[in-house]
Structure 1
């Protein structure tokens, strides 16, 4: 029988090959024969059968030897060897030629916790660091890096895809490298056959190319191609994708075709999307890292678990510096100095900042014995810049330690880097490509020189095909250089780069008045940012205005610093801003700004009250409240217990909510519980309709909680406050502080707030909500919210509201007013979720009242 003959021939040939493989003198490189997919598949199946028979025959040793000779096993060993060489050494900041550090020697465990969601957080990362630093000793689920795919207790389903969030410089990349190195060194996760670590920087270069998944793996990891592995379904594989925030490949999860064949060529974005979805190679596990602001590029439903890297705890900070400085006395002095500065202690939460701090303090202690250590963030970063200039002068230019650090060439270099830092900061970019540098007027060859000289500030990396990628070593370094650029530009030319319409100070202006306006405009610009993106930039800009900064940057700055009078006026302006009802985060940053300006008078005033026992919580100004919060939140001791009963009013409790949040335990009276609810609903107010304002074609029902437009005139008495022509009404509630309410509607209505002075009589349009400068309206129809209107200006919001439309979205909207902050926000309500529609930012000069406008057949219900 032909089939039988073919099978017997195949078996005999394969057994001869196996016998050859098992011979002592067999070399893995001796065979280079080519075979197609069918031959390879048949051979692999036969080897599995052979291994099974050998083990049934109790020939375990022989089976193990055969297993080790298989292409997959050879590939496994070779890949481990390659990854071990790649990741066993790490360069802090950026590679110093010939000066690597063993990763295992330097690595300090990071604080990793499980997060609930992959929601985006676009707050400035320094704000996020401060928030994380206050969560330190709460009972949370900590995760070891080697257990990143292990499900938490009580969770049955296996975890396929993990998202790890963390601010820039927190250690996400080193974390993935340590995970890979431990596997390559046989220390952990030996159930995994292959780990394939990618970075989005490398993948960006391939966004115009076409690959199959197998070809992509072969392209990056040649060991797999050499072994002829074209199927990964039978192996336990982990893909690591590091740096989602740096991804420049469009990831459209809504309109990408499904791909299930790992051998079919397509674009890289289609491969990534289907791999993440689980359509492609569903047996593989994926680990993706990102900064928080980019987390929403991938739908949250794609993740089995979301984790967050919080950086170093207080003990881990000490461990890092004791590893870095072997001299015990030197390490103790540095640790003690860091603890004296709230800013330093917070920033050392980030491993990269620990390295910057160590670099600076090591230089200061070695070159200026007994010299004063930097006390502010600005001083720290100036020292860091000077250290790099000194390295360039001595190492690259052959100068002496005592020579001036700054030459015309290095000054030009810093001007170019500063311009790049500022331009890209405004665009929100951390990673720059050749095109970005060209836009800033930087020649690509010059950029290579910069990265070769200022190696610790600006770094160049090479991806596939030797494409160059540039970045600053950390966002804070970019912000410092951006502030330095704005500062240098202003003092040299009078040009204020922070103004949207850039202006140069007039000749008629004195230098002092121009400086005063410059720094005040910077404070205003930072306060206008809803997420604090200019917080750290502002600290640096103000710190650079001091004469001490001018002294430290002697040779780079050619002009004097701001006068002491200007600095004092800036201090007073910041104190004036603190007297306004700012958010907690903005107030805290302004105190950090005062620290950069060496002014601690407000804090010292409150500390004096506290020491004397005369602190009266009833009579504090806004600025003093902010100072008290700053002191409590800056305490290096844990906030253990917060007792509400010690504070006599809701206002006091609301002011101290940040302290409640940072405390390990809060003793709250039942009446105060609602103020601790998450989100906006804690500001809910019970609206009451002012019946004296209701138009006679509006009918009240359900205890005045429902209003319907009707055709019959209602018998309401005459009243000067009644709307006599337009179908409108106002509520009794005068809004103060923060207020929130929800309403349901039918047909077309206007949901509004207005000053009391709106006209009630006549048919002129200035009687209508939104058609004047003293009322604001959201216009809704059966299709959902359509427009917002103020001062006769109509703005469409249909795209944002319609994109959220689904069966779960009701005809209910929410309104939130923060009167002191001057914000009015509208939301659409979907189950328990609020979908933002629009926010007005203004200054409310009078008391606001909720109001409603109707079209025929419409109704509104107060919820």
Structure 2
């Protein structure tokens, strides 16, 4: 049966949905409820609680007067847990009632996870219980395959049950191993196709999206737990067979795949698959023409005798292909050059594409991972679920620190330090990056130099990271500088050409010393069993940097270790030509290394860096700044490039340079451009360095309280400050008060339209107005200021010492109750313009408005779109005769 998602859910739809649920017996209904319980928890935590409780009450599902108090006191998670348990204990009718309520609420609260639950229940119909039972208990296999399956699981268990951390800084021995069941932390997977629109660096882009989801888009964020990838997808309207999981380097794609295989082996999830086959594209790269059977048996030789039998039931099979971005060949997922037989020998990329487009083994399931940049240029019409790993959200980041640091107090200290450093904290959504941060801070916080080396920028973090490795490295025969130069040349070649994996054959091109013990500190070695079709009999060995950002750092550092003017100019020229953002962090590192104090951390280990390189970078940065600022003044759509420039300046920590670059830029305009908390940190540094800025336009940047607090200490220097539509609240009024009360405050124009200020903020704003002597224009329109404290700010605005000449109070929900206080505004000798439009004033306020006009020096009064009668409007208009030059707009 189909249910319509229209603006209004009809009574027929509700009745049909209720009848479907009522058809289940008690045991089945309870089974369904428990099956969806985790999904329901997440949905109810994000749903409007008042609307939910109101709907539950109206349908007599459950009555709980203490529910809101529980949520306020103990949080949404406990509230939802209690609610779901209470409904289960009430019984059958309550379970049906809850689901019906959610069916109704989907119209005004169309959370994608809610739509997925309702879709899976409604669209699968009579097949729902069989699907759940299959997911819970799996297939019954013929006796001859049971042994093969158990053998397969045993081998996969050995491969997947342990998680290994990278080796400790500067040591050759491998890092510690941990049971994946004890160490794995949830990675946030969301439904997404946004990689198609990316033009900035993957890591930066995703980091910004984290903050966006945290602050703004929770009600639109479809979270997909690791066990739901092959559950109902409401976007494609089916149970998907083909799933793509994208994610930036180091975010945990391979770890998630390892966890999925481990969960299948241990019987926790995905029991509907009888066999799971796990391949990495870097393994397939060495294969020649091959058949699917040969591909599987080449990796799992013990399946040889039963492989044909196993492949006879495609719907019981899951193929996992990890790392599409590491493929040496281009895959075309359209149905061209297809392979239709499991014994047909073709190029391996055709076999993989044929599995994905279902021309081979129709009905099998395919799970693939890739970097977003790789996907942007490919067609994916055959993938029924597109998702993206967002990495760690705040709770998981904190847990990771607790796991890495054995000492709890040290863990808390390190996490607090990172939490207060937005740049480091945002990048910690990447697990590998989180490990690097923890590794560096574990050295900093326990060493004597702790107070001097704690990193504040990305460049300082990686300089300290490399310094710690070199400090602990004990192989005296190595020449660190020579090795770092070779690694840098190889790294830059990879960055410029999208190369992430290297072979030993590549190393002579970069003068790499393959015997250097330092290599193991920065490179990850991978060895793959050769395919049965490969001409080589020895394992294929590839190398990649620990993380893409490590590669980017080395590609920048080499220009300071082995300076060549021609090479650096060529790299800078090439880097700015890419429109896919691949060189953004590379450029940040170049600018960060131009700072002498940052480079000095590495000096004891590699000697002098090139000061000439630093001068060239600074000259390039000044030239780029002039071009970007001039272009931004002409084209407001180039705000992303302006923020990128500010990030480069932020990495330099060079305040005179910032001042010089921005000396002619009197206005900074980011209006209509979403700014993350990290962007606000960077912008705060820019404002701190450049005191010549006259106008700062942050209208509709959604900076919220967190971003505003970072900017507030430097906003008193701005003459024209625009903060409309940023969701600022009463708690931010105190910071506004400090800005306006600052001894050297320059603010003349303050625009606070359409925020979330209530009357509670009026007291703080009034204090600021009393103390301020520069403010001439104030716009408080579209804030709900009416309440018991509104008169306080009117008194401040009416004071004879008030300097405000233009005041906007449009659409603040003012009615006749508050009109008596308006006449007191006549006490402000400077007030020339007053806007009271789009409020609820009626004829009863006419007398007070007349008194205001008589007592004031107003030249323009806007009272349009209130609730005046035609006669009252004529009377008010006639008041223009009281003072020549007065204009009243109705």
Scaled by the length of structure 2, what TM-score is found? 0.55
Are the counterparts in 2 of residues 489 and 495 from structure 1 also a CA contact under 8 Å? no
The corresponding residue for 1:340 is: 420
Partner of 2:259: 178
The equivalent of 2:316 in structure 1 is 236
User: How far apart, CA to CA, are the structure 1 residues paired with 2:585 and 2:300?
Assistant: 41
Q: 1:659 to 1:214 in 2, by over 3 A?
A: same
Q: How does 1:438-477 map to 2 (within 5 A)?
A: 438-442=508-512, 446-447=513-514, 449-450=515-516, 453-465=518-530, 466-477=539-550
Secondary structure, counterpart of 1:497 in structure 2: helix
Equivalent-residue separation in structure 2 for 1:120 and 1:224 (angstroms): 43
Q: Pick from 232, 241, 248 the counterpart of residue 167 of structure 1.
A: 248
Q: Does 1:552 align with 2:617?
A: no
The corresponding residue for 1:591 is: 646
Give the secondary structure class of the aligned counterpart of 1:261: coil
- Structural mapping, 1:364-375, within 5 Å: 364-368=444-448, 370-372=450-452, 373-375=454-456
Q: Is residue 79 of structure 1 aligned with residue 146 of structure 2?
A: no
Q: Secondary structure at the match of 2:204?
A: helix
Return the offset for 1:294: 1.0
Residue 562 in structure 1 maps to residue 611 in structure 2: yes
C-alpha contact 2:251 2:431 (8 A) present in aligned 1: yes
Aligned position for 2:178: 101
Match of 2:589 among 523, 540, 544: 540
CA displacement 1:249-297 (0-9 Å, x = unmatched): 2424568433222122332122112111101001210001000111156
Trace 1:804-819 onto structure 2 (pairs within 5 A): none
Secondary structure, counterpart of 1:317 in structure 2: helix
Which of 485, 495, 499 aligns to 2:565? It is 495
Residue 302 of structure 1: SS of its match in structure 2? coil
Match in the other structure for 1:748 = none
Structure 1 residues 555 and 634: CA distance shift in structure 2, 3 A? closer
Look up the SS of the partner of 1:416 in the other structure: helix
Shift of 1:124: 1.5
Distance in 1 (CA, whole Å) between partners of 2:356 and 2:527 is 26
2:229 counterpart residue number:
148
Corresponding residue for residue 189 of structure 2: 112
- For 1:208-253, what per-residue CA distance to the aligned partner results, in whole angstroms no more than 9, with x for missing partners? 2x32212211111123225455442326111000010111124245
**Displacement of 1:655 after TM fit?**
6.9
How many Å separate the matches in 1 of 2:405 and 2:317? 39
Is 1:530 aligned with 2:586? no
* Structure 2 residue aligned with 1:759: none
Residue number in structure 2 paired with 1:486 = 559
Contact 2:293–2:307 (CA under 8 A) maintained in structure 1 = no
Secondary structure in 2 aligned to 1:624?
Answer: strand
CA contact (8 A) 2:676 2:707 kept: no
| Counterparts of residues 291-690 of structure 1 (less than 5 Å) | 291-296=371-376, 298-368=378-448, 370-372=450-452, 373-393=454-474, 397=475, 409-442=479-512, 446-447=513-514, 449-450=515-516, 453-465=518-530, 466-490=539-563, 494-500=564-570, 522=572, 526-559=575-608, 562=611, 576=626, 579-582=629-632, 583-599=638-654, 621=665, 624-625=668-669, 633-634=677-678, 656=700
- Measured after TM superposition, the shift of residue 314 of structure 1 is 2.1
1:43 is matched with: none
**Cα deviation digits, residues 647-693 of structure 1 (max 9, x gap):** xxxx9989745769x9999969xxxxxxxxxxxxxxxxxxxxxxxxx
Would you say 1:125 and 2:190 are equivalent positions? no
CA shift, 1:556, in A, is: 4.4
Does 2:211 match 1:134?
A: yes
Secondary structure of the 1:552 match is coil
Whether the 8 Å CA contact 1:159–1:305 is kept in 2: the answer is: yes
Q: Equivalents in 2 of 1:103, 1:440: separation in Å?
A: 37
Matched, 1:223 2:302: yes
- Compute the displacement of 1:178 (Å): 0.7
Q: Is the 8 A contact 2:191 2:224 kept in 1?
A: yes
The answer to whether the Cα contact below 8 Å between 1:260 and 1:279 also exists between their aligned partners in 2 is yes
Matching of residue 214 in structure 1 with residue 293 in structure 2: yes
- Quote the Cα distance in structure 1 between the aligned partners of 2:180 and 2:606: 39
Alpha-carbon distance change, 233 to 131 in structure 1, aligned in 2, over 3 angstroms: farther
Q: 2:353 aligns with which of 254, 273, 278?
A: 273
Rounded to whole Å, the distance in 2 between the matches of 1:251 and 1:628 is 38
Distance 1:177 1:562, change over 3 A: same
Provide structure 1 residue ranges, at least 5 long, that are not aligned to the other structure: 1-63, 400-406, 501-520, 606-618, 638-650, 669-863
Whether contact under 8 Å (1:588, 1:630) holds in the other structure is no
RMSD: 3.9
| CA–CA separation in structure 2 for the residues paired with 1:74 and 1:666 | 67
* Cα distance between partner residues in 1 of 2:362 and 2:194: 22
Note if contact 2:333-2:356 (Cα within 8 Å) is conserved in structure 1.
no
Which protein has the bigger strand share?
Answer: 1
Partners of 2:617 and 2:671 lie apart in 1 by 20
Q: Is the 8 A contact 1:122 1:293 kept in 2?
A: no
* 1:786-810 deviation line (CA, Å, top 9, x unaligned): xxxxxxxxxxxxxxxxxxxxxxxxx
Q: Which runs of 5+ in 2 are unaligned?
A: 1-136, 531-538, 633-637, 682-694, 709-722, 727-890
2:143 pairs, out of 50, 65, 70, with 70
d(CA) in 2 for partners of 1:630, 1:299: 29
TM-superposed CA distance for 1:383, in Å, is 1.5
CA contact (8 A) 2:483 2:518 kept: no
Match in the other structure for 2:748: none
Contact 2:252 2:430 in 1 (8 A): yes
> 2:274 corresponds to which residue?
193
Q: Quote how far apart the aligned CAs of 1:550 are.
A: 3.4
Q: Tell me, yes or no, if the aligned pair for 2:467 and 2:605 is still in contact at 8 Å.
A: no
1:418/1:484 contact within 8 Å kept: yes
The TM-score with structure 1 as length reference comes to 0.56
What is the rounded CA distance, in whole Å, between the counterparts of 2:419 and 2:584 in structure 1?
A: 22
Distance in 1 between the 2:335 and 2:268 partners?
Answer: 42
CA distance in 2, matches of 1:197, 1:227: 18
- Where 2:213 maps in the other structure, the secondary structure is coil
Judging by fraction of residues, say which structure has more helix: 2
> Kindly tell me: are residues 627 and 322 of structure 1, through their superposed partners in 2, closer, same or farther at Cα, counting changes over 3 Å?
farther
Total equivalences in the alignment: 537
> Cα–Cα, structure 1 residues 663 and 72, in superposed 2: closer, same or farther, change >3 Å?
farther
What displacement does 1:166 show?
1.0
Q: Residues of 2 paired with 1:579 and 1:118: CA distance?
A: 28
CA distance in 2 between partners of 1:358 and 1:201 (Å): 29
**CA deviation map 1:721-770 (0-9, x unaligned):** xxxxxxxxxxxxxxxxxxxxxxxxxxxxxxxxxxxxxxxxxxxxxxxxxx
Q: How does 1:761-776 map to 2 (within 5 A)?
A: none
Shift of 1:588: 2.0
The CA deviation string for residues 167-204 of structure 1, in whole angstroms up to 9 with x for no partner, is 11111111111111111111112121111110000000
The separation in 2 between residues aligned to 1:666 and 1:156, in whole angstroms, is 40
